[in-house]
């Protein structure tokens, strides 16, 4: 379906800025709602019945939303009965780098100004030695979960999701940070199809020139070749991972996908391998968007877009006048 969206996008951006403006600069996982007491009661009531809530400092924990090797994320309410997401660390053994990563995520989010496509940090601290952060609650799911269940929210909002991710990355880079772990799991989408970038634990300050980092963090299937090799890199690594994520969002497959993880990695590291354009798997992808994504996926970082501002301007030209479907 083709539609003209430029004026609508300007209006939507204005509306987001108005509704999200807050003196509290606060961001990370599963989460955003402008909460009233009625909202809190309706959300909690729908999600949990006949379950015992428990106190955690000044917050009440109601239900586990997600759990990984390092952290738990809880549906919680604050002292004002607002619904929030509380992320807290598991107990860790000596030598684990998890506390440092968790602390890094808080540091980065504290320094970020509010943006409508980045989840906000509301509070952080320690309770009996357990580090925690309190985040905006998003009533939705991440892109990977939505894709696995073939949720129509992606099909109906794919252009907005791509633009929203790009807007979030541009804001992050403008604030001096690179994400370094962009992937579908780290993009939450609410019930309206609005995307939010989450999880800044591995983020690093953008260096003046490509830099080799002591910790080579990221998810291999989405990492730029220079990251995979443990070489010096900069914000253009995020541009590569954006290309992989956008390609997957449009085609439901990865651009370097092989028959095994080893073959996929080999293709990512092969400077002569050229991924197929997204339109080979989704004929609805415009030619200009094909070229943009393939440039993001260039093996040589010098051949990618130099920054998110230029990339985002190209995306708006490609998607500003045409609606496509995943």
Read off the CATH number of the domain in which 152 is found: 1.10.510.10
Residue 326 lies in a domain: no
The Cα–Cα gap between 309 and 117 comes to 15
CB atoms closer than 10 angstroms to residue 55: 9
CA distances from 81 to 38, 41, 149 (A): 9, 8, 32
Number of structural domains, the chain? Answer: 2
Q: To 10 degrees, what angle do helices 287-296 and 236-251 make? A: 140
Query: For residue 5, is it within any domain?
Result: no
- Verify that 151 and 99 share a domain, yes or no: no
pLDDT digits (tens, 9 = 90+) for 97-110: 888 999 999 999 99
Last residue of a domain, one of 104, 136, 168: 136
CB atoms within 10 A of CB 157: 20
Domain limit, last residue, from 116, 136, 156: 136
pLDDT(6) > 50: no
| Predicted confidence (pLDDT) per residue in 251-273, tens digit | 999 999 999 999 999 999 999 99
Query: What span, in angstroms and rounded, lies between the C-alpha atoms of 110 and 238?
Result: 21
**Is residue 1 predicted with pLDDT exceeding 80?**
no
16 assigned to some structural domain: no
From CA 117, how far away is CA 187, in angstroms rounded? 9
Phi, then psi, of 211 in degrees rounded to 5: -130, 145
In a domain, 17, yes or no: no
- Rounded to whole angstroms, the Cα distance separating 183 from 17 reads 25
Share of the chain above pLDDT 70, in %: 81
Residues 153 and 285 in one domain: yes
Taking the C-alpha atoms of residue 131 and residue 283, their distance in angstroms, rounded to an integer, is 48
CA Rg value for the chain: 20
Question: What is the rounded average pLDDT for all residues in the chain?
Answer: 84
Assess whether pLDDT exceeds 80 at residue 232: yes
Residue 35: predicted pLDDT: 41
**End-to-end C-alpha distance for the chain, whole angstroms:** 12
72 and 163 co-located in one domain: no
Q: What is the pLDDT, as a whole number, of residue 94? A: 53
What CATH number has the domain bearing residue 28?
A: 3.30.200.20
Determine, yes or no, domain membership for 36: yes
> Are 224 and 311 found together in one domain?
yes
- Take residue 140 and report the two structure tokens written for it: 């939705």
Q: Is the pLDDT of residue 22 over 50?
A: no
In a domain, 278, yes or no: yes
pLDDT at 51: 58
CB 247 within 8 A of CB 158: no
Residues 208 and 315 in one domain: yes
> Is 9 contained in some domain?
no
- Residue ending a domain, among 136, 151, 172, is 136
Q: Which domain holds residue 91?
A: 24-136
Q: 154 and 174: one domain?
A: yes
Whether residue 46 sits in one domain with residue 31: yes
pTM of the model: 0.83
Same domain as 304, residue 254: yes
Is residue 212 domain-shared with residue 275, that is, in the same domain?
yes
- Which residue did the predictor score with more confidence, 25 or 237? 237
| Same domain as 282, residue 155 | yes
Q: What is the pLDDT of residue 95?
A: 56
Residues 55 and 84 in one domain: yes
Segment (H or E) for 317:
helix 308-319
In a domain, 3, yes or no: no
H or E segment and range at residue 73 = strand 71-77
- Does 170 share its domain with 301? yes
């Amino acid at each position: 379906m083709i539609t003209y969206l430029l004026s609508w996008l300007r209006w939507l951006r204005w509306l987001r800025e108005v509704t999200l403006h807050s003196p509290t600069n606060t961001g990370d996982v599963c989460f955003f709602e402008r909460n009233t007491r009625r909202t809190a009661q309706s959300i909690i009531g729908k999600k949990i019945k006949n379950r015992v809530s428990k106190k955690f400092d000044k917050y009440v924990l109601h239900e586990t939303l997600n759990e990984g090797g390092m952290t738990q994320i809880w549906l919680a309410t604050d002292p004002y009965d607002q619904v929030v997401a509380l992320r807290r660390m598991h107990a860790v053994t000596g030598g684990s780098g998890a506390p440092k990563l968790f602390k890094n995520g808080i540091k980065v989010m504290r320094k970020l100004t509010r943006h409508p496509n980045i989840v906000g940090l509301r509070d952080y601290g320690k309770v009996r030695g357990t580090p925690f952060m309190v985040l905006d609650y998003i009533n939705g799911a991440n892109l990977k979960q939505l894709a696995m269940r073939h949720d129509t929210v992606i099909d109906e909002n794919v252009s907005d999701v791509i633009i929203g991710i790009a807007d979030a990355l541009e804001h992050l880079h403008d604030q001096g940070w690179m994400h370094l772990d962009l992937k579908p799991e780290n993009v939450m989408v609410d019930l309206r199809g609005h995307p939010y970038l989450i999880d800044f634990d591995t983020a690093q300050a953008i260096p003046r020139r490509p830099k080799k980092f002591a910790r080579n963090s990221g998810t291999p299937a989405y990492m730029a070749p220079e990251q995979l090799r443990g070489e010096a890199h900069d914000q253009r690594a995020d541009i590569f991972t954006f290309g992989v994520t956008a390609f997957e969002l449009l085609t439901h497959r990865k651009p370097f996908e092989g028959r095994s993880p080893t073959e996929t990695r080999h293709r990512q590291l092969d400077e002569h391998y050229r991924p197929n354009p997204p339109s080979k798997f989704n004929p609805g992808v415009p030619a200009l968007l094909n070229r943009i994504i393939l440039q993001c996926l260039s093996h040589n970082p010098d051949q990618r877009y130099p920054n998110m501002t230029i990339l985002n301007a190209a995306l708006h030209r490609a998607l500003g006048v045409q609606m496509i479907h995943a």
